[in-house]
Amino acid sequence: MTADETLQQLLRLLADGDYHSGQALGKTLGISRTAVWKQLQKVQQWLPLESHRGRGYCIPGGLDLLDQNAILARLQPKSKTHLSALTVLMETDSTNAWLLRGGHTAGAVCLAERQLTGRGRRGRPWVSPFAQNLYLSVLWRFGGGAGVLEGLSLAVGVTIAQALEELGLTGAGLKWPNDVLWQGDKLAGILLEMTGDPAGECQVVVGVGLNVNMPEAEQIDQPWTDLTRMARAQGIAPPSRSQLTAVLLDHLLPLLAEFDQRGFADWRDAWLERAVGLGQQVDLQTVTRQISGRLLGVDTTGALRLEVEQGEQVFHGGEVSLRMRP
Ligand code: BTN
Protein backbone atom coordinates (compact mmCIF):
# COMPACT_ATOMS: atom_id res chain seq x y z
CA MET A 1 0.00 0.00 0.00
CA THR A 2 1.29 3.49 -0.83
CA ALA A 3 1.29 6.20 1.85
CA ASP A 4 -1.70 7.83 0.11
CA GLU A 5 -3.63 4.53 0.15
CA THR A 6 -2.82 4.00 3.83
CA LEU A 7 -4.10 7.47 4.58
CA GLN A 8 -7.28 6.82 2.60
CA GLN A 9 -7.91 3.57 4.47
CA LEU A 10 -7.26 5.26 7.80
CA LEU A 11 -9.74 8.01 6.99
CA ARG A 12 -12.31 5.44 5.87
CA LEU A 13 -12.00 3.72 9.25
CA LEU A 14 -12.42 7.01 11.08
CA ALA A 15 -15.23 8.23 8.80
CA ASP A 16 -17.89 6.69 11.07
CA GLY A 17 -17.19 9.35 13.72
CA ASP A 18 -16.57 6.71 16.43
CA TYR A 19 -13.45 6.30 18.56
CA HIS A 20 -10.82 3.84 17.28
CA SER A 21 -7.73 2.91 19.24
CA GLY A 22 -4.31 3.39 17.64
CA GLN A 23 -3.66 -0.28 18.17
CA ALA A 24 -6.86 -1.40 16.39
CA LEU A 25 -6.25 1.02 13.52
CA GLY A 26 -2.66 -0.21 13.15
CA LYS A 27 -3.78 -3.84 13.21
CA THR A 28 -6.41 -3.33 10.50
CA LEU A 29 -4.00 -1.40 8.30
CA GLY A 30 -1.01 -3.66 8.98
CA ILE A 31 1.15 -0.80 10.27
CA SER A 32 2.61 0.13 13.66
CA ARG A 33 0.92 2.42 16.19
CA THR A 34 3.68 4.95 15.56
CA ALA A 35 2.94 4.86 11.84
CA VAL A 36 -0.75 5.42 12.63
CA TRP A 37 0.17 8.36 14.83
CA LYS A 38 2.32 9.86 12.05
CA GLN A 39 -0.55 9.66 9.55
CA LEU A 40 -2.90 11.19 12.08
CA GLN A 41 -0.59 14.20 12.39
CA LYS A 42 -1.33 14.81 8.72
CA VAL A 43 -5.08 14.32 9.20
CA GLN A 44 -5.02 16.86 12.02
CA GLN A 45 -3.90 19.58 9.60
CA TRP A 46 -7.03 19.03 7.52
CA LEU A 47 -9.73 18.17 10.02
CA PRO A 48 -10.65 18.44 13.68
CA LEU A 49 -9.41 15.19 15.20
CA GLU A 50 -10.11 14.26 18.81
CA SER A 51 -7.93 11.96 20.82
CA HIS A 52 -8.79 10.45 24.16
CA ARG A 53 -6.55 8.40 26.40
CA GLY A 54 -7.85 4.88 26.47
CA ARG A 55 -10.41 5.39 23.71
CA GLY A 56 -8.21 6.43 20.81
CA TYR A 57 -9.04 8.81 18.00
CA CYS A 58 -12.20 10.13 16.43
CA ILE A 59 -13.35 12.63 13.81
CA PRO A 60 -16.29 14.38 15.49
CA GLY A 61 -19.39 14.11 13.30
CA GLY A 62 -17.68 11.64 10.96
CA LEU A 63 -16.76 12.20 7.34
CA ASP A 64 -18.48 11.80 3.99
CA LEU A 65 -15.52 10.65 1.89
CA LEU A 66 -15.67 10.27 -1.87
CA ASP A 67 -15.94 6.61 -2.81
CA GLN A 68 -14.79 5.69 -6.31
CA ASN A 69 -16.72 2.39 -6.33
CA ALA A 70 -19.93 4.04 -5.15
CA ILE A 71 -19.59 6.69 -7.87
CA LEU A 72 -19.03 4.06 -10.58
CA ALA A 73 -21.90 1.91 -9.28
CA ARG A 74 -24.35 4.83 -9.53
CA LEU A 75 -23.29 6.09 -12.96
CA GLN A 76 -25.73 5.51 -15.81
CA PRO A 77 -24.47 3.07 -18.49
CA LYS A 78 -24.49 5.93 -21.04
CA SER A 79 -22.15 8.01 -18.86
CA LYS A 80 -19.81 5.04 -18.45
CA THR A 81 -19.36 4.89 -22.22
CA HIS A 82 -18.00 8.47 -22.11
CA LEU A 83 -15.82 8.00 -19.02
CA SER A 84 -12.21 6.96 -19.70
CA ALA A 85 -10.81 7.15 -16.14
CA LEU A 86 -11.99 8.22 -12.70
CA THR A 87 -9.30 9.33 -10.27
CA VAL A 88 -10.03 10.30 -6.67
CA LEU A 89 -7.12 12.03 -4.93
CA MET A 90 -6.74 12.85 -1.26
CA GLU A 91 -5.12 16.15 -2.15
CA THR A 92 -3.71 17.96 -5.15
CA ASP A 93 -2.86 21.50 -6.17
CA SER A 94 -5.90 21.81 -8.46
CA THR A 95 -7.91 19.10 -10.21
CA ASN A 96 -7.86 21.24 -13.37
CA ALA A 97 -4.07 21.53 -13.20
CA TRP A 98 -3.77 17.78 -12.51
CA LEU A 99 -5.60 16.93 -15.75
CA LEU A 100 -3.82 19.65 -17.72
CA ARG A 101 -0.43 18.16 -16.84
CA GLY A 102 -1.09 15.69 -19.63
CA GLY A 103 -1.28 12.02 -20.47
CA HIS A 104 -5.05 11.83 -20.16
CA THR A 105 -7.64 10.86 -22.71
CA ALA A 106 -11.02 12.48 -23.36
CA GLY A 107 -13.44 11.53 -20.63
CA ALA A 108 -10.83 11.50 -17.84
CA VAL A 109 -12.31 12.71 -14.55
CA CYS A 110 -10.34 13.88 -11.53
CA LEU A 111 -11.76 14.56 -8.07
CA ALA A 112 -9.87 15.61 -4.99
CA GLU A 113 -10.80 15.73 -1.32
CA ARG A 114 -8.77 18.90 -1.00
CA GLN A 115 -7.08 21.40 -3.33
CA LEU A 116 -4.02 23.29 -2.15
CA THR A 117 -4.29 25.98 -4.80
CA GLY A 118 -7.80 25.63 -6.19
CA ARG A 119 -8.29 28.00 -9.10
CA GLY A 120 -11.27 30.27 -9.63
CA ARG A 121 -12.15 32.58 -12.52
CA ARG A 122 -10.16 35.76 -13.08
CA GLY A 123 -7.15 34.50 -11.12
CA ARG A 124 -9.05 34.14 -7.85
CA PRO A 125 -8.37 31.25 -5.46
CA TRP A 126 -11.10 28.63 -4.92
CA VAL A 127 -11.40 27.73 -1.26
CA SER A 128 -11.17 23.93 -1.08
CA PRO A 129 -11.30 22.47 2.45
CA PHE A 130 -10.91 18.73 2.96
CA ALA A 131 -13.86 16.37 2.27
CA GLN A 132 -16.50 19.09 2.52
CA ASN A 133 -17.28 20.14 -1.05
CA LEU A 134 -16.92 18.84 -4.58
CA TYR A 135 -13.84 19.65 -6.66
CA LEU A 136 -14.28 17.91 -9.97
CA SER A 137 -12.61 18.25 -13.38
CA VAL A 138 -13.30 16.53 -16.69
CA LEU A 139 -11.03 16.54 -19.71
CA TRP A 140 -12.49 16.54 -23.20
CA ARG A 141 -11.13 17.02 -26.72
CA PHE A 142 -12.77 18.97 -29.50
CA GLY A 143 -11.86 19.34 -33.16
CA GLY A 144 -12.91 22.41 -35.10
CA GLY A 145 -11.24 25.07 -32.97
CA ALA A 146 -12.08 27.06 -29.87
CA GLY A 147 -15.19 28.51 -31.54
CA VAL A 148 -16.92 25.17 -30.98
CA LEU A 149 -16.61 25.79 -27.23
CA GLU A 150 -18.64 29.01 -27.26
CA GLY A 151 -21.32 28.78 -24.62
CA LEU A 152 -19.98 25.52 -23.21
CA SER A 153 -19.41 26.96 -19.73
CA LEU A 154 -23.02 28.20 -19.65
CA ALA A 155 -24.28 24.75 -20.66
CA VAL A 156 -22.17 23.26 -17.83
CA GLY A 157 -24.06 25.55 -15.44
CA VAL A 158 -27.33 24.12 -16.76
CA THR A 159 -26.11 20.55 -16.12
CA ILE A 160 -25.27 21.44 -12.51
CA ALA A 161 -28.75 22.88 -11.96
CA GLN A 162 -30.34 19.85 -13.66
CA ALA A 163 -28.31 17.41 -11.54
CA LEU A 164 -29.48 19.18 -8.38
CA GLU A 165 -33.07 19.12 -9.62
CA GLU A 166 -32.78 15.37 -10.23
CA LEU A 167 -31.76 15.07 -6.59
CA GLY A 168 -34.85 17.01 -5.53
CA LEU A 169 -32.96 20.26 -4.87
CA THR A 170 -34.79 23.00 -6.71
CA GLY A 171 -34.21 26.69 -7.26
CA ALA A 172 -30.56 26.84 -8.38
CA GLY A 173 -30.17 29.97 -10.52
CA LEU A 174 -27.66 30.78 -13.25
CA LYS A 175 -25.78 34.05 -13.39
CA TRP A 176 -23.90 34.90 -16.56
CA PRO A 177 -21.43 33.69 -17.55
CA ASN A 178 -21.31 30.64 -15.33
CA ASP A 179 -22.08 31.06 -11.66
CA VAL A 180 -24.61 28.82 -9.99
CA LEU A 181 -26.48 30.64 -7.23
CA TRP A 182 -29.02 29.75 -4.65
CA GLN A 183 -31.05 32.58 -3.14
CA GLY A 184 -28.53 35.02 -4.60
CA ASP A 185 -25.44 33.43 -3.03
CA LYS A 186 -22.78 31.42 -4.83
CA LEU A 187 -23.32 27.68 -4.71
CA ALA A 188 -20.99 26.55 -7.49
CA GLY A 189 -18.42 27.92 -9.91
CA ILE A 190 -17.12 26.69 -13.25
CA LEU A 191 -13.66 27.18 -14.71
CA LEU A 192 -12.85 26.08 -18.25
CA GLU A 193 -9.18 25.87 -19.20
CA MET A 194 -8.13 25.17 -22.76
CA THR A 195 -4.90 24.04 -24.40
CA GLY A 196 -4.02 23.06 -27.95
CA ASP A 197 -4.69 24.73 -31.25
CA PRO A 198 -7.37 27.45 -30.99
CA ALA A 199 -8.04 26.90 -34.71
CA GLY A 200 -7.99 23.11 -34.70
CA GLU A 201 -7.75 20.22 -32.22
CA CYS A 202 -8.03 21.51 -28.66
CA GLN A 203 -8.38 20.03 -25.24
CA VAL A 204 -10.55 21.55 -22.58
CA VAL A 205 -10.67 20.89 -18.86
CA VAL A 206 -14.03 21.66 -17.29
CA GLY A 207 -13.62 22.35 -13.57
CA VAL A 208 -16.60 22.44 -11.22
CA GLY A 209 -16.43 23.57 -7.62
CA LEU A 210 -19.68 22.88 -5.76
CA ASN A 211 -20.09 23.89 -2.13
CA VAL A 212 -21.61 21.01 -0.18
CA ASN A 213 -20.79 21.70 3.43
CA MET A 214 -18.55 24.74 3.58
CA PRO A 215 -17.19 25.40 7.09
CA GLU A 216 -18.30 28.82 8.42
CA ALA A 217 -14.74 29.74 9.29
CA GLU A 218 -13.49 29.76 5.70
CA GLN A 219 -12.57 33.20 4.35
CA ILE A 220 -14.37 33.69 1.03
CA ASP A 221 -14.50 37.01 -0.79
CA GLN A 222 -18.10 36.73 -1.99
CA PRO A 223 -21.45 35.75 -0.47
CA TRP A 224 -21.68 31.96 -0.59
CA THR A 225 -24.00 29.15 0.28
CA ASP A 226 -23.88 25.36 0.18
CA LEU A 227 -25.96 22.31 -0.59
CA THR A 228 -26.46 21.45 3.05
CA ARG A 229 -28.29 24.74 3.63
CA MET A 230 -30.23 24.35 0.40
CA ALA A 231 -31.34 20.80 1.32
CA ARG A 232 -32.22 21.80 4.88
CA ALA A 233 -34.37 24.70 3.63
CA GLN A 234 -36.18 22.27 1.30
CA GLY A 235 -36.69 19.69 4.04
CA ILE A 236 -34.63 16.93 2.43
CA ALA A 237 -31.46 15.09 3.39
CA PRO A 238 -28.43 16.24 1.37
CA PRO A 239 -27.08 13.56 -0.99
CA SER A 240 -23.73 11.93 -0.24
CA ARG A 241 -20.85 13.51 -2.16
CA SER A 242 -20.40 10.30 -4.16
CA GLN A 243 -24.07 10.25 -5.16
CA LEU A 244 -23.85 13.92 -6.09
CA THR A 245 -20.75 13.24 -8.20
CA ALA A 246 -22.43 10.40 -10.10
CA VAL A 247 -25.55 12.43 -10.88
CA LEU A 248 -23.45 15.41 -11.93
CA LEU A 249 -21.35 13.24 -14.25
CA ASP A 250 -24.54 11.74 -15.70
CA HIS A 251 -25.42 15.22 -16.93
CA LEU A 252 -21.94 16.54 -17.68
CA LEU A 253 -20.43 13.68 -19.70
CA PRO A 254 -23.26 13.48 -22.27
CA LEU A 255 -23.10 17.27 -22.64
CA LEU A 256 -19.39 17.11 -23.46
CA ALA A 257 -19.87 14.18 -25.83
CA GLU A 258 -22.57 15.97 -27.80
CA PHE A 259 -21.71 19.66 -27.51
CA ASP A 260 -19.75 19.96 -30.76
CA GLN A 261 -22.77 18.71 -32.72
CA ARG A 262 -25.46 20.74 -30.97
CA GLY A 263 -23.70 23.84 -29.59
CA PHE A 264 -25.19 26.22 -27.04
CA ALA A 265 -28.29 26.93 -29.15
CA ASP A 266 -29.86 23.72 -27.81
CA TRP A 267 -29.11 24.73 -24.21
CA ARG A 268 -30.21 28.34 -24.42
CA ASP A 269 -33.83 27.83 -23.33
CA ALA A 270 -32.76 25.67 -20.37
CA TRP A 271 -30.26 28.37 -19.38
CA LEU A 272 -32.81 31.20 -19.68
CA GLU A 273 -35.37 29.24 -17.61
CA ARG A 274 -32.93 29.30 -14.71
CA ALA A 275 -31.36 32.73 -15.34
CA VAL A 276 -31.16 35.13 -12.43
CA GLY A 277 -32.09 38.80 -12.85
CA LEU A 278 -33.64 38.83 -16.34
CA GLY A 279 -35.13 42.26 -17.05
CA GLN A 280 -33.25 43.84 -14.14
CA GLN A 281 -30.67 46.64 -14.14
CA VAL A 282 -27.14 45.24 -13.88
CA ASP A 283 -23.55 46.47 -14.01
CA LEU A 284 -21.03 44.79 -16.26
CA GLN A 285 -17.36 45.20 -15.42
CA THR A 286 -14.90 44.72 -18.27
CA VAL A 287 -11.13 45.11 -17.92
CA THR A 288 -11.36 48.77 -18.90
CA ARG A 289 -14.87 50.03 -18.11
CA GLN A 290 -18.18 49.54 -16.35
CA ILE A 291 -21.38 49.37 -18.38
CA SER A 292 -24.86 49.55 -16.89
CA GLY A 293 -27.96 48.25 -18.58
CA ARG A 294 -31.00 46.01 -18.44
CA LEU A 295 -30.35 42.28 -18.62
CA LEU A 296 -32.08 40.86 -21.70
CA GLY A 297 -30.63 37.35 -21.63
CA VAL A 298 -28.14 35.49 -23.83
CA ASP A 299 -27.94 34.84 -27.56
CA THR A 300 -27.50 31.45 -29.24
CA THR A 301 -23.71 31.57 -28.67
CA GLY A 302 -24.07 32.29 -24.94
CA ALA A 303 -23.08 35.96 -25.26
CA LEU A 304 -24.78 38.38 -22.85
CA ARG A 305 -27.52 40.66 -24.22
CA LEU A 306 -27.74 44.00 -22.48
CA GLU A 307 -30.03 46.94 -23.21
CA VAL A 308 -27.97 50.10 -22.87
CA GLU A 309 -28.80 53.72 -23.80
CA GLN A 310 -27.76 53.22 -27.42
CA GLY A 311 -29.84 50.04 -27.81
CA GLU A 312 -28.89 46.38 -27.48
CA GLN A 313 -25.26 45.36 -26.99
CA VAL A 314 -23.80 41.88 -26.88
CA PHE A 315 -20.89 40.88 -24.65
CA HIS A 316 -18.77 37.75 -24.71
CA GLY A 317 -17.26 36.01 -21.67
CA GLY A 318 -13.61 36.14 -20.69
CA GLU A 319 -12.44 38.76 -18.24
CA VAL A 320 -15.91 40.19 -17.73
CA SER A 321 -18.06 40.04 -14.62
CA LEU A 322 -21.66 40.89 -13.99
CA ARG A 323 -23.04 42.48 -10.86
CA MET A 324 -26.71 42.43 -9.95
CA ARG A 325 -28.10 45.58 -8.37
CA PRO A 326 -29.38 44.87 -4.86
C1 BTN B 1 -15.22 30.36 -10.21
O2 BTN B 1 -14.39 31.23 -9.89
O3 BTN B 1 -16.42 30.57 -10.09
C4 BTN B 1 -14.76 29.04 -10.78
C5 BTN B 1 -14.38 28.07 -9.71
C6 BTN B 1 -13.95 26.72 -10.23
C7 BTN B 1 -13.42 25.83 -9.13
C8 BTN B 1 -13.16 24.43 -9.59
S9 BTN B 1 -12.86 23.32 -8.25
C10 BTN B 1 -12.39 22.07 -9.39
C11 BTN B 1 -11.56 22.75 -10.44
N12 BTN B 1 -10.18 22.85 -10.04
C13 BTN B 1 -9.80 24.11 -9.88
O14 BTN B 1 -8.67 24.47 -9.51
N15 BTN B 1 -10.81 24.94 -10.13
C16 BTN B 1 -12.00 24.22 -10.54
Cα angle 257, 211, 83 (rounded to 5 degrees) comes to 25
111 and 11 within one domain: no
Angle between helices 33-46 and 22-29 (to 10 degrees): 100
How many whole angstroms separate alpha carbon 237 and alpha carbon 73? 21
287 and 261 within one domain: no
The CA-atom distances, in angstroms, between 326 and each of 174, 185, 279, 282, 321 are: 16, 12, 14, 9, 16
Counted domains in the chain: 3
Partners of 136 in the beta sheet? 111, 208
User: What 3-state DSSP class applies to 92?
Assistant: strand
Q: What is the pLDDT of residues 218-246, one digit of tens each?
A: 788 889 999 999 999 999 999 999 999 99
pLDDT at position 45 is: 87
232 and 308 within one domain: no
Report the CATH number that the domain containing residue 204 is assigned in CATH. 3.30.930.10
How many whole angstroms separate alpha carbon 270 and alpha carbon 159? 9
Query: If you ran DSSP here, which 8-state letter would residue 80 be given?
Result: H
155 and 19 within one domain: no
308 and 223 within one domain: no
Task: Kindly give the distance from the C-alpha atom of residue 81 to the centroid of ligand 1, in angstroms, as a whole number.
Answer: 25
Catalytic annotation, pick one of 114, 186, 268, 274: 186
pLDDT at position 85 is: 97
In this prediction, the residues of the chain whose per-residue pLDDT falls under 70 are 318-319, 326
Ligand 1 contacts CB of residue 95 (under 6 A): yes
323 has catalytic annotation: yes
Q: Record the pTM.
A: 0.94
Nearest-CA residue for atom 2 of ligand 1: 120
**Residue 174 one-letter amino acid:** L
pLDDT at position 46 is: 87
97 and 77 within one domain: yes
How many whole angstroms separate alpha carbon 225 and alpha carbon 62? 21
pLDDT at position 28 is: 95
pLDDT at position 219 is: 83
Question: What element of type H or E holds 312?
Answer: strand 311-315
Report the CATH number that the domain containing residue 306 is assigned in CATH. 2.30.30.100
122 and 25 within one domain: no
Range of the domain at 30: 3-58
Cα angle 101, 102, 107 (rounded to 5 degrees) comes to 115
Does residue 30 lie within any of the structural domains?
A: yes
pLDDT at position 319 is: 64
Does residue 63 lie within any of the structural domains?
A: no
165 and 133 within one domain: yes
- The domain boundary, picked from 257, 273, 289, lies at 273
